Amino acid sequence: MDRLRQVCVTSLLLISLSGPDSRGSDLDALNACLAGRVLDFTHNHGRDHRVWSPALGLWRDIYVYLPPDYDPNTAYPLLLWLHGFGGDEEQFTRQVVFALDQAIQSGAMRPVIAVGPDGSIPSSWKPWCQGSWYINSQQGQWEDYILQDVIGFVEQQFKIRPEREAHVIAGWSMGGFGAYNLAFKHPEQFRLMVGVYPNLNLRYADKDGHWGTPFDPDTIGSL
């Protein structure tokens, strides 16, 4: 499996370096390496399949992972993955999907439907993007986007188990902060939360980016 993953990652890297004309095939190459499959609700592969967010007033990119032997008549647990600062929804397909797919295929993890939404904000810091921190701020209603638009879209498209015990929110770095923040604020929604290197202490950031001053979420848009 490790050898197959190395071959798949190498192939995907070569495809990504081939230019925009190859972007439609990189998702096919990814799915060829998985026991499950990733569905495209983005504008990353030629056609525009993005999802409208009423909370943000924007079209947003989302990837959805379906487990091996997916049955549309079966209700599945939900895993919501939040990417880190400087990244976007492609962090889900590059770093998360392989491990998730392997864990389910090996029996170490129960089948889930996993979602990787885009929580980035375009910036001049190319090639990086700013991060939304998945909170409601002057940069947009990002908490509402996750809780209402992303989860609402997935529940409309797929059968998701409704009980909180079947809902997991997880994330890396900024996404870890988002996972903890949303889970603590909405315990009725999530039973489990996972933060990988979560940024939990933001009291040293303010609107000017100065250290040693109180963090104010209302001014995060100026970071």
Q: How far apart are CA 194 and CA 170, in angstroms?
A: 4
CB 153 within 8 A of CB 130: no
54-68 average pLDDT score: 98
Q: Given this model, what pLDDT does residue 11 score? A: 45
Least confident of 173-177, 189-193, 207-211: 207-211
Q: What is the arithmetic mean of pLDDT over 12-32?
A: 63
Q: What is the CATH number of domain 38-222?
A: 3.40.50.1820
Residues 139-171: tens digit of each pLDDT: 899 999 999 999 999 999 999 999 999 999 999
How do the domains of the chain map onto residue ranges?
1-33, 38-222
CB 118 within 8 A of CB 153: no
Question: Looking at residue 219, what is its pLDDT?
Answer: 58
What are the E-state strand segments in the chain? Answer: 37-41, 51-53, 58-60, 62-66, 78-82, 113-117, 120-121, 130-131, 136-137, 140-141, 167-172, 192-196
pTM above 0.85, yes or no: no
Q: What is the pLDDT of residue 181?
A: 95
Q: Parallel, antiparallel, or unpaired for β 167-172 and 78-82?
A: parallel
- Residue 122 pLDDT: 74
Confidence label for 126 from pLDDT (cuts 50, 70 and 90):
low
The residue behind tokens 């700013």 is 130
Helix (H, G, I), strand (E, B) or coil at 125: coil
